[in-house]
A and B are shown apart, each in its own frame.
Chain A
Amino acid sequence: MIYREAGEFKTSYAADQGLLTIPMDRWFVIGLVLFAFIGMPLVGDEYWLGSIMIPVLILAIAAMGLNILTGYAGQLSLGTGAFMAAGAYMAYKVATNLSFLPVPVAILAGGGFSAMIGVLFGIPSLRIKGFYLAVATLAAQFFLLWLFTHVDWFVNYNLSGVPAIADYHLFVDWGPLVTGAQASVEARYLFVLVFAVFLALAARNMARCKIGRSWMAIRDMDIAAEIIGIRPLHTKLSAFAISSFYCGVAGALWAFCFINNVEPGAYEIERSFQILFMIIIGGLGSILGSFLGAAFIFLLPITLSQLPGWLGLDVPADVITHLEFMVMGVLIIFFLIVEPHGLARLWQIAKEKLRRWPFPY
């Protein structure tokens, strides 16, 4: 009886339409967010904040983006990495060439540019579906990366092609440093966290509003969606745009707050697949799942690689990596078979169990 939903009566539609309708859920999430903002920076050391939390949050943003497109709107995409790259390169351009703008604006501008690119590559989705569309998004993946690495304008004609990100304050000259190696890890973490929390909230809101329902309608049955007045092209493109915006912001944050430079290798097709796994394992069509999936996929190899050390075994690095591949493969299949709705559903099931505990019947 730890977790209760019975005995909660809503007296207005407003209450019933709320985000977290069960008080325990609400308090839990509020507590968690508070902990993420206050507790985590106090508890976590540089490794945990800088090398784990920051990339996990950034990848979770990208996973939310892909989840909007694939989980909600049903359009399979393998071009996530390229949309992230679009955000990163454009944010870099804005940050360096329009230096009077504060860095959060540059990052959002990167997202905006990525959204435009997303719309462009979303146009084929009107005519082609399913795997054909997936392959078409690969065109975006390869073409865009080629473009960014071959047009020197994107890197300000940098000789090496891998421009470093300068140390930026939150608002031009004011506020703490939030990017670059000089910035404190707490500042970078909180900066990323703010993005992640607001984007997650926005995604949840969109999912429960008109736009979210029209995405799901297109996903579940596009013909039926049309007869109730949903414009397929408009809806699909809005999914592409918003999805790419999320990915673009994630790509920019990756460059600005994590690896400190704009490196094409970070946005290769492997990244696209990694994020796809995150939403499969986290749960398609679930914002919570995007976070769970990102944490799981990112931490799995790191945990596996350290596991022998904790157990005091001496296993060579290559064997561990091969094992990691195998475990990853098996886990993907396992999840698809046992719980196609991913970790998010497992969490729900766990809650249901808790509701009955300790009296199962």
Chain B
Amino acid sequence: MSEMMADNENGRIGGELLSVDNITLRFGGVKALTDISFNINKGEIRSIIGPNGAGKSSMLNVINGFYKPQEGTIRFKGKNVNMKPDLAAKSGIARTFQNIALFKGMSTLDNIMTGRMLKMKAGFLSQAIYWGRAQKEELENRAFVEEIIDFLEIQSIRKTPVGRLPYGLQKRVELARALAMEPELLLLDEPMAGMNLEEKEDMSRYIIDVNEYFGTTIALIEHDMGVVMDLSDRVVVLDYGCKLADGSPDEVSSNQAVIDAYLGVAH
């Protein structure tokens, strides 16, 4: 972890990490996304905004391989990919969900440990006898996970089944699980939905910290414009599956089409 912290403020944003080129996604006759293109640079916080039903979540689903677009390509780290979710995870994309997707029957610790899944290579026999590689891996990864637990300040709920946690904490555990994967690109789908002001401030702080200390690139869907404008380096705006605008928070917020879409001018 310490080597990641070496990333300093000055060289924070690097070259292109992910590029989305001319993506079109249809469900039967319904077009969910039409010809969307944008990119995400290494180290930046990139927001995707838009009214309800604009296709934001669909966009994330395309990026990490849940939906297969009919047209267009996604390139991650310069490579053309046509992914399945588990392969996306392998190549370094993690995400959280709009509706929390934790493993309800497991403890906080176990949930976060699942994020280390890809880093563990022990065979099942070694696991069955809990000896050698399996034991070593378990302990190493436990140490790593404990650092994340410290970072997100959830030490006290380590052994609590996540189903019993309040909403805000569940969101935090979900973030912790995603972080445990040491992702290069972190997709956050409305991480602050339903939170009060204080919780939002906490979460914003964590997002900035993750970005700064770990150098993790973040793609964020969020409805709270204040949060978006404060956090984001660049913003892409979707409406009815089309791209409306793309640029810095200031550029976007002054764009007439965006204002129309949010105020509900007829098309």
Contact = CB atoms under 8 A, between A and B. Distances in A.
A348 B106 CA distance: 17
User: What secondary structure prevails in chain A residues at the interface with B?
Assistant: helix
B177 A228 contact: yes
Contacts of A242: 124
Interface string B126-142: 01111000110111001
B62 interface: no
Contacts of A223: 66, 85, 101
Could you tell me the dominant secondary structure of chain B's interface residues?
helix
Interface stretch (B1-9, B26-34, B89-97, B198-206): B89-97
A226 to B, nearest CB: 4
Interface stretch (A212-220, A248-256, A271-279, A315-323): A212-220
A226 B85 contact: yes
A229 B138 contact: no
Scoring A19, A223, A238 by chain B CB atoms within 10 A of each residue's CB, the highest score goes to A223
Interface in B60-105: 64, 66, 84-86, 88-90, 94-95, 97, 101-105
Nearest to B181: A228
Interface stretch (A39-47, A52-60, A201-209): A201-209
Which among B102, B106, B115 has the greatest number of chain A C-beta atoms within 10 A? B106
Taking residues whose C-beta sits less than 8 angstroms from the other chain, chain A's interface range is: 20 to 34
B142 A17 contact: yes
B105 A219 contact: yes
B105 A285 contact: yes
A13 to B, nearest CB: 5
Contacts of B146: 13
B89 A209 contact: no
A231 B129 contact: no
Q: Which of B86, B90, B104, B110 has most A Cβ within 10 Å?
A: B86
A2 interface: no
A127 interface: no
A201 B106 CA distance: 20
B130 A205 contact: yes
Interface residues of B, number: 41
B110 A216 contact: yes
A211 interface: yes
A201 B135 CA distance: 14
B85 to A, nearest CB: 4
Contacts, number: 108
A208 B159 CA distance: 13
A227 interface: yes
Contact of B89 (A210, A220, A228): A228
B139 A13 contact: yes
Given A216-B105, A230-B86, A224 B122 contact: no
Interface string B200-225: 00000000000000000000000000
Which among A17, A19, A212, A232 has the greatest number of chain B C-beta atoms within 10 A? A17
Interface string B110-129: 10011101101010100111
A13 B142 contact: yes
Contacts of A17: 138-139, 142
A70 to B, nearest CB: 13
Contacts of A232: 86
A202 B135 CA distance: 13
Contact of B138 (A209, A220, A224, A238): A209
Contacts of A220: 102-106
28 contacts: A13-B139, A13-B142, A16-B142, A17-B139, A19-B130, A205-B128, A208-B130, A210-B138, A212-B127, A213-B106, A213-B117, A214-B114, A216-B105, A216-B106, A216-B110, A217-B103, A220-B103, A220-B104, A220-B105, A223-B66, A226-B85, A227-B89, A227-B101, A229-B86, A229-B118, A229-B181, A230-B86, A230-B114
Given A210-B122, A220-B106, A227-B101, 18 more contacts: A16-B142, A19-B130, A205-B134, A209-B134, A210-B117, A210-B138, A213-B117, A219-B103, A221-B102, A221-B104, A223-B85, A227-B95, A228-B94, A228-B114, A228-B115, A228-B178, A230-B114, A231-B86
Interface of B: 64, 66, 84-86, 88-90, 94-95, 97, 101-106, 110, 113-115, 117-118, 120, 122, 124, 127-130, 134-135, 137-139, 142-143, 146, 177-178, 181
Interface of A: 13-14, 16-17, 19, 201-202, 205-206, 208-214, 216-217, 219-221, 223-232, 238, 242, 285
